[in-house]
Amino acid sequence: MSGILTPMAAYELVSEIKKRFEVRLHLHCHATTGMAEMALLKAIEAGVDGVDTAISSMSATYGHPATEALVATLAGTEHDTGLDILKLENIAAYFREVRKKYHAFEGQLKGCDSRILVAQVPGGMLTNLEGQLKQQNAADKLDQVLAEIPRVRE
Protein backbone atom coordinates (compact mmCIF):
# COMPACT_ATOMS: atom_id res chain seq x y z
CA MET A 1 0.00 0.00 0.00
CA SER A 2 0.98 3.60 -0.30
CA GLY A 3 -0.05 4.50 3.20
CA ILE A 4 -3.71 5.06 2.36
CA LEU A 5 -5.15 2.31 4.56
CA THR A 6 -7.13 4.13 7.22
CA PRO A 7 -7.14 2.82 10.79
CA MET A 8 -10.87 2.14 10.76
CA ALA A 9 -10.68 0.34 7.41
CA ALA A 10 -7.84 -1.81 8.79
CA TYR A 11 -9.97 -2.70 11.81
CA GLU A 12 -12.99 -3.55 9.69
CA LEU A 13 -11.02 -5.59 7.13
CA VAL A 14 -9.18 -7.63 9.73
CA SER A 15 -12.33 -8.18 11.82
CA GLU A 16 -14.38 -9.37 8.84
CA ILE A 17 -11.68 -11.59 7.36
CA LYS A 18 -10.97 -13.22 10.74
CA LYS A 19 -14.71 -13.70 11.31
CA ARG A 20 -15.28 -15.39 7.94
CA PHE A 21 -12.08 -17.38 7.40
CA GLU A 22 -9.76 -19.46 9.53
CA VAL A 23 -6.54 -17.97 8.23
CA ARG A 24 -3.45 -16.32 9.62
CA LEU A 25 -3.53 -12.69 8.60
CA HIS A 26 -0.55 -10.39 8.20
CA LEU A 27 -0.71 -6.64 7.49
CA HIS A 28 1.77 -4.72 5.37
CA CYS A 29 1.46 -0.96 4.99
CA HIS A 30 3.70 2.00 4.33
CA ALA A 31 4.21 5.06 6.52
CA THR A 32 3.98 7.54 3.64
CA THR A 33 0.88 9.39 4.86
CA GLY A 34 1.30 8.99 8.61
CA MET A 35 -1.65 6.61 9.05
CA ALA A 36 0.25 3.30 9.12
CA GLU A 37 1.01 3.31 12.85
CA MET A 38 -2.65 3.82 13.66
CA ALA A 39 -3.73 1.26 11.06
CA LEU A 40 -1.39 -1.33 12.59
CA LEU A 41 -2.71 -0.64 16.08
CA LYS A 42 -6.34 -0.98 14.97
CA ALA A 43 -5.50 -4.16 13.04
CA ILE A 44 -3.85 -5.59 16.16
CA GLU A 45 -6.95 -4.72 18.19
CA ALA A 46 -9.01 -6.56 15.55
CA GLY A 47 -6.89 -9.71 15.80
CA VAL A 48 -4.32 -9.53 13.00
CA ASP A 49 -1.65 -12.19 13.43
CA GLY A 50 1.36 -10.20 12.28
CA VAL A 51 2.41 -6.78 11.04
CA ASP A 52 5.37 -5.42 9.11
CA THR A 53 7.55 -2.77 10.73
CA ALA A 54 11.07 -1.47 10.18
CA ILE A 55 13.78 -0.53 12.61
CA SER A 56 13.35 3.20 13.34
CA SER A 57 16.46 4.36 11.51
CA MET A 58 15.11 2.78 8.30
CA SER A 59 11.41 3.50 8.87
CA ALA A 60 8.84 6.10 7.82
CA THR A 61 8.46 7.99 4.53
CA TYR A 62 8.38 5.25 1.86
CA GLY A 63 8.96 2.48 4.39
CA HIS A 64 7.15 0.88 7.28
CA PRO A 65 6.27 2.25 10.71
CA ALA A 66 9.02 2.05 13.33
CA THR A 67 9.31 -1.22 15.21
CA GLU A 68 10.33 0.49 18.44
CA ALA A 69 7.27 2.75 18.49
CA LEU A 70 4.93 -0.22 18.13
CA VAL A 71 6.84 -2.24 20.73
CA ALA A 72 6.57 0.67 23.20
CA THR A 73 2.89 1.19 22.37
CA LEU A 74 2.06 -2.45 23.04
CA ALA A 75 4.24 -2.85 26.16
CA GLY A 76 2.22 -3.95 29.17
CA THR A 77 -0.85 -4.81 27.10
CA GLU A 78 -2.24 -8.18 26.05
CA HIS A 79 -0.34 -7.64 22.79
CA ASP A 80 3.06 -7.02 24.43
CA THR A 81 5.72 -8.23 21.99
CA GLY A 82 8.31 -9.04 24.61
CA LEU A 83 10.96 -7.39 22.46
CA ASP A 84 13.76 -5.56 24.26
CA ILE A 85 13.70 -1.86 23.34
CA LEU A 86 17.40 -1.49 24.26
CA LYS A 87 18.40 -4.25 21.84
CA LEU A 88 16.24 -2.63 19.18
CA GLU A 89 18.03 0.68 19.80
CA ASN A 90 21.38 -1.02 19.21
CA ILE A 91 20.08 -2.30 15.88
CA ALA A 92 18.74 1.17 15.03
CA ALA A 93 22.13 2.73 15.81
CA TYR A 94 23.84 0.34 13.41
CA PHE A 95 21.39 1.12 10.60
CA ARG A 96 21.65 4.89 11.21
CA GLU A 97 25.24 4.56 10.04
CA VAL A 98 24.30 2.32 7.10
CA ARG A 99 21.66 4.80 6.00
CA LYS A 100 24.22 7.62 5.89
CA LYS A 101 26.26 5.56 3.43
CA TYR A 102 23.32 5.31 1.01
CA HIS A 103 21.90 8.80 1.52
CA ALA A 104 22.30 9.68 -2.17
CA PHE A 105 19.70 7.04 -3.06
CA GLU A 106 16.96 8.38 -0.80
CA GLY A 107 13.83 9.92 -2.24
CA GLN A 108 12.48 13.41 -1.77
CA LEU A 109 10.06 12.64 1.07
CA LYS A 110 11.33 13.71 4.48
CA GLY A 111 8.21 12.91 6.50
CA CYS A 112 4.53 12.19 6.04
CA ASP A 113 3.11 13.40 2.76
CA SER A 114 -0.62 14.09 2.57
CA ARG A 115 -0.43 14.48 -1.22
CA ILE A 116 -0.37 10.70 -1.38
CA LEU A 117 -3.86 10.58 0.16
CA VAL A 118 -5.07 12.37 -2.97
CA ALA A 119 -2.73 10.91 -5.60
CA GLN A 120 -2.92 7.35 -4.16
CA VAL A 121 0.44 6.38 -5.62
CA PRO A 122 1.57 2.95 -4.33
CA GLY A 123 4.77 2.99 -2.26
CA GLY A 124 6.90 1.06 -4.76
CA MET A 125 5.59 3.13 -7.63
CA LEU A 126 6.41 6.37 -5.83
CA THR A 127 10.09 5.54 -5.49
CA ASN A 128 10.23 4.39 -9.11
CA LEU A 129 8.47 7.56 -10.23
CA GLU A 130 11.01 9.70 -8.40
CA GLY A 131 13.87 7.71 -9.92
CA GLN A 132 12.47 8.12 -13.43
CA LEU A 133 11.97 11.85 -12.95
CA LYS A 134 15.55 12.13 -11.72
CA GLN A 135 16.82 10.25 -14.81
CA GLN A 136 14.91 12.71 -16.99
CA ASN A 137 16.43 15.66 -15.10
CA ALA A 138 12.91 16.47 -13.95
CA ALA A 139 13.05 15.67 -10.22
CA ASP A 140 11.70 19.17 -9.58
CA LYS A 141 8.44 18.15 -11.32
CA LEU A 142 7.30 15.68 -8.63
CA ASP A 143 4.74 18.13 -7.19
CA GLN A 144 3.20 18.67 -10.62
CA VAL A 145 3.10 14.95 -11.39
CA LEU A 146 1.43 14.14 -8.07
CA ALA A 147 -1.15 16.88 -8.70
CA GLU A 148 -1.86 15.50 -12.18
CA ILE A 149 -2.39 11.85 -11.20
CA PRO A 150 -5.91 12.31 -9.73
CA ARG A 151 -6.96 14.19 -12.89
CA VAL A 152 -5.67 11.35 -15.07
CA ARG A 153 -7.71 8.84 -13.02
CA GLU A 154 -10.90 10.82 -13.72
How many other CB atoms sit within 10 Å of the CB of residue 22? 5
> What's the pLDDT tens digit per position in 76-105?
999 999 999 999 999 999 999 999 999 888
Sign of the dihedral through C-alpha 115, 107, 137, 132: negative
Per DSSP, the chain holds a count of helices (H) and strands (E) of 7, 2
pTM: 0.88
The architecture CATH gives domain 7-113: Alpha-Beta Barrel (3.20)
pLDDT-derived band at 1, boundaries 50, 70, 90: low
The structural domains of the chain, with segments of one domain joined by +, span 7-113
Distance between start and end Cα atoms, the chain: 21
CA distance 141 to 123: 18
